[in-house]
Structure 1
Amino acid sequence: MKMKIVNGILIASLTITHKENTKVLHDMIVDTGSAHTWVNLDAVENNLDVAPEDGDQIVTAFGIGGRDIANRKRIDRLEFGTFSVTDFQVDFGRLDDDISGLIGLDLLMAGNFVLDLSRLEMHQAHT
């Protein structure tokens, strides 16, 4: 999968399917320093029903921007390049308007991804 650098930040796309609706997010930051994948509510709230429900968790995330609150919920399906995972937990909260979210270490490790920064590509490791 190809990635790009925008303003010094590594960017890739992620596809989310939940409750029979799908949204492609093109401006996701590949963030190995983020424990969890985080999606900006502004990027999905008109396309996906990610409102809090029974069974969801309210979580607090800490980072360079300070402390943020998110709703952690199980999503029907995530697609990241050729990798696909079902019933995966994603955090939904607010981020800067021009950022669709963060592809966190949880998703990168679930897919056993290798980052090739010299080619700006990512692929799954052969096991």
Structure 2
Amino acid sequence: MHLTIINGILVSPFWISHRGKSITLESMIIDTGSAHTWVNLDVVEDVLDVSPEEGDHIITAFGIGGRDIANRKKVEQIQFENFTAVEFQVDFGRMDADIDGLIGLDLLITGSFVINLARMEVYQER
């Protein structure tokens, strides 16, 4: 998949499905500095029911922007590039930035992704 740079940041689409509803997020940052994949709650809350429930974990994340709280939830399915994962844990929380979220190392490592900056591509190691 060809990568796009917006304001100096690598972004890519990401698809998520939960409880029979799905959404494509067009501006997910590929963030090798993020341990977990994080989705901006403001972007998905009108489409997906990701409210906290039994079995979820409320987590505190720390980063350059400070401390944030999120709901870590297993969703039915996610897709990034040609990789599909079922029952994948995603963090849902608010973000001050005008982005859809972060594709973190949890997904990049699970999918054995290679980020080739010379060719501006991300693909799975085969």
Match of 2:4, as an amino acid? K
Match of 2:19, as an amino acid? K
The 1-side partners of 2:95 and 2:53 are apart by 21
Asked if the contact 1:42–1:97 (Cα under 8 Å) also holds between the matched residues in 2, the reply is no
Q: CA RMSD in A?
A: 0.7
1:34 corresponds to which residue? 34
| Bigger mean CA deviation after superposition, 12-21 or 91-100 | 91-100
Question: Which aligned pairs between 1:51-62 and structure 2 lie closer than 5 A?
Answer: 51-62=51-62
Instruction: Give per-residue Cα distances to partners, 1:64-88, cap 9 Å, x unaligned.
Output: 0000000000010000011000000
Unaligned runs of 5+ in 2: none
Q: TM-score, normalised by structure 1?
A: 0.97
User: What is the percent sequence identity of the aligned residues?
Assistant: 59
The 1-side partners of 2:13 and 2:3 are apart by 8
Structure 1 residue 25 and structure 2 residue 25: aligned? yes
The 2-side partners of 1:100 and 1:82 are apart by 19
1:91 corresponds to which residue? 91
The 2-side partners of 1:73 and 1:45 are apart by 13
Structure 1 segments of 4 or more deviating over 3 A? none
Q: TM-score, normalised by structure 2?
A: 0.98
Instruction: Give per-residue Cα distances to partners, 1:42-72, cap 9 Å, x unaligned.
Output: 1100110000010000000000000000000
Aligned residues, how many? 126
The 2-side partners of 1:39 and 1:58 are apart by 14
Structure 1 residue 80 and structure 2 residue 80: aligned? yes
